[in-house]
């Protein structure tokens, strides 16, 4: 994202279950800002602007958080929702250091119809998110994988994913992200061929 | 139909359903799901009936997950029997559901088709439900 979004919040005085419940009744959302120095600031904000902020910035774009006039750079780290009402319960802002790399989960989006699927195979997506390591401003919103050339028995491992510059995938084992496997129809056809 | 393979005891105390679903309340596997808005006991027949309604509408492709399991036994006394003389005989299975619980999830089909399939499934269930879509879709 080219321009940093600025979002205003105010410091929260009341702490704990009772105070936060009263805030939610008043249409506000309690939250917390975790700073890089270990100093955590409880904050509060209106719900609708927060919903709009999340729509625009998501979890991967750095925002400028204005806490009663003091501007800090951060990411939306976690949004807690009500189990069945369409309401936000709590938000975590994670203060970032522009020079320091951090690990974050980003979604994998698959595009195109693979060659193998057209031949009767099945595309299996084993991972919908992957963990990457990057500086806050370099974090991509998503990883796009084009599967058009994928034939049956073709798979994509995490080490083979093409990522932007200054972004690296974080993993222990080199696991498969997706694969095109033979479908029921193609297995039957193969058996008939053998006969 | 779904039911436990074996149980430690034949009958259970009924218990009460209170509170909200604190687990199983987010979409975990699919792209779209059906969420409970009320407390209720969903029998294994209802779970199966809703599943069939869903997959018949989808016809082919896609994958369906059932996120609840009927692991509670239901008992009933025979007709025209006086009260007392012990608890009734086991007669079925149900899944206790709290509001917020995801009941079914679908992946791999067009989102409008999946919505219609979940709507049809909801008609087979004894509780109010809503359709929820995974964030980012």
Largest CA distance in chain A: 77
CA distance A69 to chain B (A): 32
Domain final position from A95, A118, A141? A95
Q: DSSP string of chain B?
A: ----S--SSS--------S---SS-S--SSSEEEEE-S-EEEEHHHHHHHHHHHHHHH-SS-EEEE-----EEEEEPPTT--S-SS--EEEEEEEEE-TT-EEEEEESS-HHHHHHHHHHHHTTSSS-EEEEE-TT-
How many structural domains compose chain A? 2
pLDDT at B48: 96
Q: Which residues of B touch A107 (CB under 8 A)?
A: 136
Q: In 3-state terms, chain B is what percent helix, strand and coil (to 5)?
A: 20, 30, 55
Q: What is the CATH classification number for the domain harbouring A21?
A: 2.40.240.10
Cα A18 to chain center, whole Å? 31
Q: Is A79 helix (H, G, I), strand (E, B) or coil?
A: strand
What range defines the domain where residue A12 resides? 5-95
User: CA A159 to CA A157: how far, in whole Å?
Assistant: 5
Q: Are A156 and A112 in contact (CB under 8 A)?
A: no
What local confidence, expressed as pLDDT, does residue B57 receive? 94
What per-residue confidence (pLDDT) applies to A189?
56
Question: How high is the pLDDT of residue A194?
Answer: 56
The verdict on A107 touching B (C-beta cutoff 8 Å) is yes
What three-state secondary structure class fits B94?
strand
Asked if B85 and B9 touch (Cβ cutoff 8 Å), the reply is no
Question: Is residue A190 a part of any domain in this protein?
Answer: no
Mark yes or no for CB contact A83/B37 under 8 Å.
no
**SS3 call for B82:** coil
Write down the ipTM of this complex. Answer: 0.82
End residue of a domain, out of A46, A67, A95: A95
pLDDT tens digits, residue range B86-110? 999 999 999 999 999 999 999 989 9
CA angle A83, A87, A90 (to 5 degrees): 85
Q: Give pLDDT, residue B72.
A: 96
Q: How many domains does chain B have?
A: 1
Of A58, A84, A107, the CB nearest to B37: A84
**Where is average pLDDT lowest: A177-181, A189-193, B40-44?**
A189-193
Domain span including residue B122:
32-76+89-133
Distance of CA B136 to the CA centre of its chain: 26
B109 located within any domain:
yes
pLDDT range class, residue A176, cuts 50, 70, 90:
very high
Mean pLDDT, contiguous 10-residue spans, chain B (137 residues): 94 94 92 96 96 92 93 95 94 96 94 95 97 81
Whether the per-residue pLDDT at A187 is higher than 70: the answer is no
Return the residue of B nearest to A108 by Cα.
B136
Cβ of A83 within 8 Å of Cβ of B130? The answer is no
Q: What is the mean pLDDT of residues A104-127?
A: 88
**Given pLDDT bands bounded at 50, 70 and 90, which one contains residue A185?**
low
Over residues A66-82, mean pLDDT = 91
| B22:A84 CB<8 A | no
Per-residue pLDDT tens over the stretch A79-101: 999 999 989 999 999 999 988 99
A195 to chain B, any CB pair closer than 8 A? The answer is no
**pTM: predicted TM-score of the whole model, two decimal places:** 0.83
Instruction: Tell if the CB–CB gap between B99 and A107 is shorter than 8 Å.
Output: no
What pLDDT was estimated at residue B94? 97
Phi and psi at B124, nearest 5°, equal -90, -5
User: Do A108 and A178 have their domain in common?
Assistant: yes
Strands of the A143-146 sheet, one edge to the other: A143-146, A102-111, A129-134, A168-169
Q: Do A56 and A78 belong together in one domain?
A: yes
Last residue of a domain, one of A80, A95, A110: A95
């Amino acid at each position: 994202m080219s321009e940093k979004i600025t979002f205003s919040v105010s410091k929260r005085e009341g702490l704990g279950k009772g105070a936060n419940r009263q805030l939610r009744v008043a249409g506000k959302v309690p939250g917390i800002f975790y700073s890089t120095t270990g100093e955590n600031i409880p904050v509060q904000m209106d719900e609708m602007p927060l919903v709009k902020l999340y729509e625009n910035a998501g979890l991967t774009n750095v925002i400028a958080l204005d806490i009663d006039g003091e501007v800090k750079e951060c990411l939306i780290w976690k949004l807690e929702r009500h189990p069945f009402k369409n309401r936000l319960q709590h938000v975590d802002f994670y203060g970032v250091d522009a020079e320091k790399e951090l690990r974050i989960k980003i979604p994998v989006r698959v595009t195109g119809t693979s060659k193998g699927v057209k031949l009767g195979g099945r595309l299996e997506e084993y991972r919908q998110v992957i963990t990457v390591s990057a500086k806050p401003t370099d974090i991509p919103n998503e990883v796009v994988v084009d599967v058009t050339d994928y034939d049956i028995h073709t798979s994509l491992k995490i080490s083979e994913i093409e990522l932007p510059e200054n972004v690296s995938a974080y993993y222990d084992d080199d696991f498969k992200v997706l694969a095109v496997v033979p479908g029921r129809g193609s297995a039957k056809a193969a058996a008939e061929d053998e006969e | 139909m779904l039911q436990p393979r074996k149980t430690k005891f034949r009958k259970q105390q009924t218990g009460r359903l209170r509170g909200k679903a604190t687990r199983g309340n987010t979409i975990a596997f699919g792209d779209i799901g059906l969420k409970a808005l009320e407390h209720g006991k969903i029998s294994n027949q209802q779970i199966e009936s809703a599943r069939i309604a869903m997959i018949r509408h989808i016809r082919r492709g896609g994958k369906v997950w059932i996120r609840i399991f009927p692991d509670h036994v239901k008992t009933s006394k025979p007709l025209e029997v006086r009260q007392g003389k012990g608890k009734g005989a086991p007669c079925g299975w149900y899944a206790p559901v709290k509001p917020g619980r995801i009941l079914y999830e679908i992946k791999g089909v067009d989102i409008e088709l999946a919505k219609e399939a979940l709507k049809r499934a909801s008609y087979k269930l004894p509780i109010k439900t809503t359709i929820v879509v995974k964030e980012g879709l």
